Chains A and B, each alone.
Chain A
Amino acid sequence: MSRRLLGLAPVLVVVLVAATALGLVAVRPADTTPAGPSASTVPVEARTLTCFGLRDGSVRPTVAVGLAGVDGADPPAVDAGGLGLGDLGDRSTWTTRRATSRDATIAAQGPAAGGLDAFSAVAPDRSAGGGLAVQHCAEPTRRWWFVGAASTSSRSGTLLLRAPDDAEAVVDVVLHGSDGVLDTVGTQDVPVAAGSTVSLGLADLAAGVGQVAVEVEASRGTVVAAVVDGRADAADPTGAEWLPAAASPTETVLLPGVGGPGRSRLLIANPQERTAVARPALVTENGRAVLPELASVQVPAGGVSAVELPADVTPGSTVELRADAPISAAVRVVDASGSDFAAAVGASPLEGPAVLPVDLGAAADVDPASTLTVSALLTDPESQTVRTRVVALRGFEAGGATLGSGTLEIDAGTSRTVDLVELLGLSQSEAGDLTHVVARPRPGGAATVPVVAAFSATSRAGASVLPLASLRTTVTAPALVPRVAPRP
């Protein structure tokens, strides 16, 4: 018997080895696939911003150039030749100059180039339409959305496209009207030569449309796009205004900076090929309230719908839209006097420092006590937990010295509007020195709650609403996976 068992020992050994091998695999961690290289974050070391001037050329804009959000870093070399300033160097963190050419380009090179930001402002006199038009000078990118333009005989927009100085671009322009996508000619494969500006009058593309959304997509290269909306008839007193670029279509859109005296019209664009249903709500300091008269808005496929907001909307409110398909939206506000209008557009969530331009030059003469509207999205309406975002603000004078600071707490599902001077605790004299404010959402806590903001610049000439756009100080460098041969 023992001899037989002894004979079985080698069998047991080999079976045991095989079983051990299988056991090794069975108990291993779930996935042992080696992680490939991951994307990394690198500072932006080059930035080029483009500021457009009004097309009639009667008034040169004032351009304000500033550096922000790059504390401690060596200031970049800024080339603002287009402004007639030469190399700004590190002379100042905030400079305003009257542009010497219609379109100006400001370029920065260096480790802190991502902190470059610029705005242009123009306050034409009454004969030229009047009002205050403020524009956020932008970087070239592939896609642009503008909601709230028109191509009627009384009011018509102009689309401006500019390619970077060293690369030509080709763009497709799609116009959305109230009934759907407008039939246009010459809007596909529009060439934009390197360093040049192409101007497309919307009335020339599709005349007589009261509500137009403009969609721009570069099929080659990148462009800076802007739409200037203004009077087409001297009898119309509503002035000229830059339509701020709206965030790309999403299913939830927040439009901060709505309300106040005057008419407010909500415009919703639907780029989808099916009808979208949007449910507007008004977000105020007290919370989120569905507008009874606007329970839902149907937006035709590829079209734009316009609805009037109630007249009693609290100034500094935020309109929230939740839709069953990605949409883009704007609120067009005509002030009580009817002399100026402003457009609040769907804003992108703040993810970094954003600049509020207070000093836009003597012509614009923006009131330091202009307001900032901040709204936090209620991501989970069913939740009873109050989630609060904190936004820190610091006010600076032209030399970069801090004049004052403050924080703003916003609960999810609410919107707050604050007076900058008050929030920063500035005296009258300090308020006069205030050139720009940097708003920065604080991380931690409820950091996943999206927060949007808009700066309502007011002056004697009129008002402009600027959605706050985060400065892109860093960029995600894609993970490159080296392969010895391309995948077939």
Chain B
Amino acid sequence: MLVSHDGARWLPQVLTALTAQTRAPDVLVAVDTASDDDSADLLTAAVGADRVLAADRGTGFGAAVDLALNDLNERGSPLGDDGWVWLLHDDCAPAPDALERLLHQALAGQPSEPPIGIVGPKLREWSSLRRLLEVGVTISSTGRRETGLERGEPDQGQRDDPCQVLAVGTAGALVRATTWSALGGLDPQLPLFGDDLDLGWRATRAGWQVQTAPAAVVFHAEAASRGQRTPGAVAGSVRREQRRAALFVLLANCPGSTLPVQYALLLVGSVLRAAGLLLLKAPREGWDEFAAAGAVLARPWRLIGARRSRRRTAVEPPSSVRPLLPSWVHPYREGAAAVADVVGGLLAPRRVTAPRSLAEPGPVAEEAEELPSEPGPLARVVARPWASAVLVLAVLVLLASRGLLGGGQLQGGALLPAPDGALDWWAAYTAGWHPVGTGSTEPAPPYVLLLAGAGLVTLGNAGAAVSVLLLGAPLLAALTAHRLLRRVGAGPIASVWAAVAYGVLPLATGAVAQGRLGTVLGVVVAPLLATALLSLAAADTSATGGARLVRWVRRSRAGLAAAGLVAFAPVAWPLLVLVALPLVLAVAVAAARGAPHPPLRQVLVSAVVVLAVPWLLGPRWLGDRIADPWLWWWEAGLPDAGVGSLDPGAVDLALGMAGGPGGVPAWAGAGVLLAAVAALARTERRRPVLVAWSVASLALLLAAAGVAADPGAEPPAGLTTVWVGFPLAVWWGALLLAAAVGAHDLGSMLAQRSFGWRQLGVAAVAGLAVLSPLLTLGWAVVEGVGAPLRRAEPVPVPTYMAEDARTGDRVSTVVLAATDGGIETTVVRGEGWRTGAGPMRAAAAPAVLLGALSGLLAAPTEDDVQTIGRLGVGYVYLPGPVDPDLAAGLDSAPGLVRAGAPASDLAWRLVRATGTVEVDGRAVEVSSDRADGGPPWTASASAAPQRRVSIAAATDAGWHAMVDGGELTPAAGSEAVVQTFAVAAGGTDGSLEIDFRDDRGRWVAAQLVVLLALVLLAAPTRRADR
């Protein structure tokens, strides 16, 4: 039975092959499905007009075969019980002995148990003639068609043993006539794809064997699958029909007991696949996936009918098919292998991808099980220096962090404890008003969004996310740096050295010990940005559509990397400006001189994109930094690690040290500096070395400016000393890059020269340079990463105070701590500040509160206590060791009474009932649905006419108060630190509702949409299926 549909391109060869058969078919019937080309004429000429049947263009393969069989019956030459039907496509050419060998395989095994119902040939590629396409097929639990073959696997006789399989392709398949008729042929719901799998599955369940006959070879063009023609039986896209067919086959044939699970898995899997395809910028394929799932899963009645018809023919239990299906974990193992490939690419970017485990469509041959095994994992690791280095680095970093593992939350230095869950980060990022300190309407800093994303990876465990990011930073930084180093052409050994030296930078500078999350993550992200910029610089500058798309993809990647970097270490933005300006200038000068140069417009656009994308994350946040340049130095976390004056000297800066505790002795890095200076002497590598040195010098200049400048009398809250760790990390990283690039092929160059001082000098510098990361690691392991970073319980105030901030009056607590520099004053609300829990700048204690507290401590009066209470403060807390004079002052303050506190601490409560919300000067209990106790609040309160409702929060147009549904108007002349509303004449005695409404939610939604678009644009482009 030869079915043709626009197959004139292949038919001549197919018909020739048929006439050359050593065992010619008894009867040849052709069906043409209204081909637009010469197919019908070719068939008529070859087999005669009476043997060519015409069918509609939309006729499926199974229907066409049925048409031909019916025609045979009508002609009075029906197939007998021992008859066989040979199914042929118009794009498959059988080898001369194909039919003979198929029949031989079908009959040689007789009688067998179960009897053979279908025999399939070995399908080879039409074009290459050598590559294997199929020798039997099966289907995975996710609907993937499994052939058990490598892509492009050549036929070397390795698959020549006949075996039972789930199914064989219909191209060249030989089907027993009784099998065909008993099963009703191919399912009309599968007009073109999946019909073979379905037929095989049903045949097996009906008590027949499906066998391969590898000795029979058929060359198949797979014209429909490869898009070389449009199948008339399929209305939509081929891919969608293929996927629909696969889902249908699975759900129509799987055992009833597994149907619900299978259904659910396919539903979720289809959604994920569609999302993944969208991410890979294949929206059409994503839609196909989605539409295919909808076509099957949303029409259960069709599945019910199909399953009912299969039950009628089934005689064998479902378990009879199980050995012919791949393990249900197989597709997931494949997915894991793909992830392993990506990780492997990071570890050894040039490594050849390891062959995946394959799902055999049939039982595994015994010989295959006796094949020699691969080398052991240890041997493989030793053979790969980078993988070994990563392993050793991981173990040493773990050892160095031994004191920071266990219970509690990482905190100390500039690091605040992590919130209870990653959802808190999402809530903080989207909230308009933050219940932190005295309350803040400042938008959350952009790194909160990134931490929230990291929290998804750790399944919502914020503490784990922070721990992994902070303590695992050396490993992550080494990985990203290694990728960059290989990209710029550094040698394998030099790359390993430089990557490890860069990775240990957060340990060496004390950034980890000081809890400098911003610098640590900046160190991790910076090489990603550098890699993206290099990739952008190497992009095709032509004006073709493809080149333009590639440039925009790479710009998006660079922009996103810049956004991530700036979010963690905002000072990266001025550094990028410092780098971009001379770059653009140099290109402009080259253009003016007529020297070779990249198109100025493209460079300008790229620079603007890289500098602009970070503004998408936090326009106000970055705008504040433009207005107050000192804020550039405020990284993710606290502005001040509380480690005193850092004040690094010129030598410290040159050796990459920003000051503070936890760092290695600066001299340990001397070797790296020497190696980077020596790299300048390599004339043949000068260009990349100079580029690295240029970036390094600019970063050093920025760091020096930060150290040398004077913040003046009024630095931003808490920023008492400038930490220049990030620009110094860039300085050091660029020096490492220069040294690694300069060291490329150094050995062979020196080997060509006679032995002399050069060799000795290079050996000395190389020895010192290699020693640098080793010294750092040794020091870190011996000393251990520690103070001020520690792991402890996070709540800074007694539990009842934290609870009072979340419930009832929602009062906050003032925490006072006497230090050499004065009395440190913090307003704590709830369980206190958490990493990224909210914006901090605006929520530090306001001046009016500081004034009242100062008065309270010096010469306490009732007015001071009143002021403090009006600002929503309910407690004053002195953590131990307590300054007795401070305590005595508070003891004698009118309106304060002692409250419960741990043994070494002291606490006072305001006698006057205070609260965040007051009506006519009396605190009212409010309730909130938010976990952090923030607005909207509701309360039952009464207010006299012409009186006021006040909220202990800075005045803002976002505050709204309603009494019994009626909106109150903000009172004129209220203090800036207290939002006051006037109660209309007549008073009230009903429900009070207070809310903070602004456009933060809309802004975040728009921001996420733009970011998602950028992420989609930046995602790798999916390679088209073969």
A residues sitting closer than 8 Å to B (CB atoms) are 7, 10-11, 14-15, 17-18, 20-26, 28-29, 31-40, 42, 44-46, 109, 140-142, 164, 166-167, 169, 218-222, 475-488
Report whether A14 and B690 are in contact in the complex, using a CB–CB cutoff of 8 Å.
yes
Q: Does B701 contact A (CB under 8 A)?
A: yes
Report whether A25 and B854 are in contact in the complex, using a CB–CB cutoff of 8 Å.
no
Q: Which residues of B contact A221 (CB under 8 A)?
A: 888, 891-892
Q: Which residues of B contact A218 (CB under 8 A)?
A: 888, 891
Q: Which residues of A contact B645 (CB under 8 A)?
A: 31, 33
- Contact among B412, B696, B845, B861 with A488 in the assembled complex (CB-CB below 8 Å): B412
Q: Which residues of B contact A39 (CB under 8 A)?
A: 822
Report whether B825 and A482 are in contact in the complex, using a CB–CB cutoff of 8 Å.
yes
Q: Which residues of A contact B844 (CB under 8 A)?
A: 482-484
- Interchain CA distance A200-B823 in the complex, whole Å: 37
Report whether A476 and B858 are in contact in the complex, using a CB–CB cutoff of 8 Å.
yes
Q: Does B824 contact A (CB under 8 A)?
A: yes
Q: Which residues of A contact B711 (CB under 8 A)?
A: 32, 34
- Interchain CA distance A20-B648 in the complex, whole Å: 16
- Contact among A17, A21, A28, A167 with B891 in the assembled complex (CB-CB below 8 Å): A167
Once A21-B653, A487-B824 are accepted as A-B contacts, the answer to whether A475 and B713 lie under 8 Å apart by CB is no
Report whether A478 and B894 are in contact in the complex, using a CB–CB cutoff of 8 Å.
no
Q: Does B698 contact A (CB under 8 A)?
A: yes
Report whether B861 and A45 are in contact in the complex, using a CB–CB cutoff of 8 Å.
yes
B window 630-684: CB within 8 A of A: 638-640, 642, 645, 647-650, 653-654, 680, 683
Report whether B826 and A484 are in contact in the complex, using a CB–CB cutoff of 8 Å.
yes
- Contact among B639, B642, B649, B898 with A487 in the assembled complex (CB-CB below 8 Å): B642
Interface segment out of the listed B17-25, B123-131, B225-233, B717-725:
B717-725
Report whether B700 and A22 are in contact in the complex, using a CB–CB cutoff of 8 Å.
yes
B window 842-870: CB within 8 A of A: 843-845, 850, 853-855, 857-861
Once A24-B704, A167-B892 are accepted as A-B contacts, the answer to whether A482 and B850 lie under 8 Å apart by CB is yes
Shortest CB–CB separation between residue B771 and chain A, in angstroms?
Answer: 23
11 A–B pairs (Cβ distance < 8 Å), ordered by A? A15-B680, A32-B708, A33-B721, A164-B892, A218-B891, A477-B859, A483-B718, A483-B826, A485-B416, A486-B832, A487-B817
Shortest CB–CB separation between residue B410 and chain A, in angstroms?
Answer: 11
- Interchain CA distance A34-B712 in the complex, whole Å: 6
Once A14-B697, A483-B718, A487-B817 are accepted as A-B contacts, the answer to whether A22 and B822 lie under 8 Å apart by CB is no
Interface segment out of the listed B248-256, B526-534, B788-796, B1013-1021:
B788-796
Report whether B710 and A32 are in contact in the complex, using a CB–CB cutoff of 8 Å.
yes
Q: Which residues of A contact B887 (CB under 8 A)?
A: 220
Q: Which residue of A lies closest to B796 (CB)?
A: A486
Q: Which residues of B contact A18 (CB under 8 A)?
A: 654, 693, 696-697, 700-701
Shortest CB–CB separation between residue B424 and chain A, in angstroms?
Answer: 16
Once A167-B891, A483-B826, A484-B717 are accepted as A-B contacts, the answer to whether A25 and B832 lie under 8 Å apart by CB is no
Q: Which residues of A contact B885 (CB under 8 A)?
A: 142
Shortest CB–CB separation between residue A480 and chain B, in angstroms?
Answer: 5
In terms of DSSP, what is the predominant structure of the interface of chain B?
mixed
- Interchain CA distance A24-B707 in the complex, whole Å: 9
Q: Which residues of A contact B705 (CB under 8 A)?
A: 21, 24
Q: Which residues of A contact B845 (CB under 8 A)?
A: 480, 482
Q: Which residues of A contact B719 (CB under 8 A)?
A: 34
Report whether B693 and A14 are in contact in the complex, using a CB–CB cutoff of 8 Å.
yes
- Interchain CA distance A11-B416 in the complex, whole Å: 43
| Apart from A36-B720, A45-B861: 15 A-B pairs, beta carbons within 8 A | A14-B690, A18-B693, A22-B650, A25-B704, A28-B708, A31-B647, A34-B720, A42-B859, A142-B884, A167-B896, A218-B888, A219-B884, A483-B825, A484-B840, A486-B824
Shortest CB–CB separation between residue A161 and chain B, in angstroms?
Answer: 14
Report whether B817 and A485 are in contact in the complex, using a CB–CB cutoff of 8 Å.
no
Q: Which residues of B contact A20 (CB under 8 A)?
A: 701
Report whether B690 and A10 are in contact in the complex, using a CB–CB cutoff of 8 Å.
yes
Shortest CB–CB separation between residue B677 and chain A, in angstroms?
Answer: 8
Q: Which residues of A contact B854 (CB under 8 A)?
A: 40, 42, 477-480
Once A142-B888, A475-B858, A477-B855 are accepted as A-B contacts, the answer to whether A24 and B894 lie under 8 Å apart by CB is no
- Interchain CA distance A361-B334 in the complex, whole Å: 104
- Contact among A10, A28, A40, A482 with B707 in the assembled complex (CB-CB below 8 Å): A28
Report whether A26 and B650 are in contact in the complex, using a CB–CB cutoff of 8 Å.
yes
Q: Which residue of A lies closest to B837 (CB)?
A: A485
Top 4 A-B pairs ranked by shortest CB distance?
A: A479-B822, A221-B891, A21-B704, A17-B697
Q: Does B879 contact A (CB under 8 A)?
A: yes
Question: How many B residues face the partner with a CB closer than 8 A?
Answer: 85
Report whether A484 and B718 are in contact in the complex, using a CB–CB cutoff of 8 Å.
yes
- Interchain CA distance A481-B654 in the complex, whole Å: 33
Shortest CB–CB separation between residue A37 and chain B, in angstroms?
Answer: 6
B window 873-893: CB within 8 A of A: 879, 884-885, 887-888, 891-893
- Interchain CA distance A418-B242 in the complex, whole Å: 117
Q: Which residues of A contact B639 (CB under 8 A)?
A: 484
Report whether B858 and A36 are in contact in the complex, using a CB–CB cutoff of 8 Å.
no
Shortest CB–CB separation between residue B569 and chain A, in angstroms?
Answer: 18
- Interchain CA distance A125-B636 in the complex, whole Å: 77
Q: Which residues of A contact B821 (CB under 8 A)?
A: 36, 479, 481
Q: Which residues of B contact A481 (CB under 8 A)?
A: 819, 821-825
Once A14-B693, A488-B788 are accepted as A-B contacts, the answer to whether A25 and B708 lie under 8 Å apart by CB is yes
- Contact among B654, B708, B850 with A24 in the assembled complex (CB-CB below 8 Å): B708
- Interchain CA distance A40-B790 in the complex, whole Å: 36
Report whether A482 and B718 are in contact in the complex, using a CB–CB cutoff of 8 Å.
yes
Shortest CB–CB separation between residue A216 and chain B, in angstroms?
Answer: 13
Shortest CB–CB separation between residue A470 and chain B, in angstroms?
Answer: 16
Q: Which residues of A contact B721 (CB under 8 A)?
A: 33-34
Q: Which residue of A lies closest to B683 (CB)?
A: A7
Q: Which residues of A contact B840 (CB under 8 A)?
A: 484-485
Q: Does B833 contact A (CB under 8 A)?
A: yes
Q: Does B694 contact A (CB under 8 A)?
A: yes
- Contact among A32, A37, A40, A220 with B709 in the assembled complex (CB-CB below 8 Å): A32
B window 774-792: CB within 8 A of A: 788, 790, 792
Shortest CB–CB separation between residue A139 and chain B, in angstroms?
Answer: 10
Most buried by B among A15, A24, A45: A24
- Interchain CA distance A42-B856 in the complex, whole Å: 12
Shortest CB–CB separation between residue B687 and chain A, in angstroms?
Answer: 9
Shortest CB–CB separation between residue A261 and chain B, in angstroms?
Answer: 42
Q: Which residue of A lies closest to B690 (CB)?
A: A10
Q: Which residues of A contact B826 (CB under 8 A)?
A: 482-486
Report whether B833 and A484 are in contact in the complex, using a CB–CB cutoff of 8 Å.
yes
Report B880-916 CB contacts with A as 1/0, cut-off 8 Å: 0000110110011111111000000000000000000
- Interchain CA distance A218-B891 in the complex, whole Å: 10
Shortest CB–CB separation between residue B738 and chain A, in angstroms?
Answer: 10
Q: Which residues of B contact A164 (CB under 8 A)?
A: 892
Q: Which residues of A contact B473 (CB under 8 A)?
A: none
- Contact among B437, B859, B884, B892 with A45 in the assembled complex (CB-CB below 8 Å): B859
Q: Which residue of A lies closest to B863 (CB)?
A: A45
Q: Which residues of A contact B566 (CB under 8 A)?
A: none
Report whether A32 and B647 are in contact in the complex, using a CB–CB cutoff of 8 Å.
yes
Shortest CB–CB separation between residue B815 and chain A, in angstroms?
Answer: 4
Q: Which residues of A contact B693 (CB under 8 A)?
A: 11, 14-15, 18
Once A7-B683, A7-B686, A14-B693 are accepted as A-B contacts, the answer to whether A480 and B825 lie under 8 Å apart by CB is yes
- Interchain CA distance A31-B718 in the complex, whole Å: 18
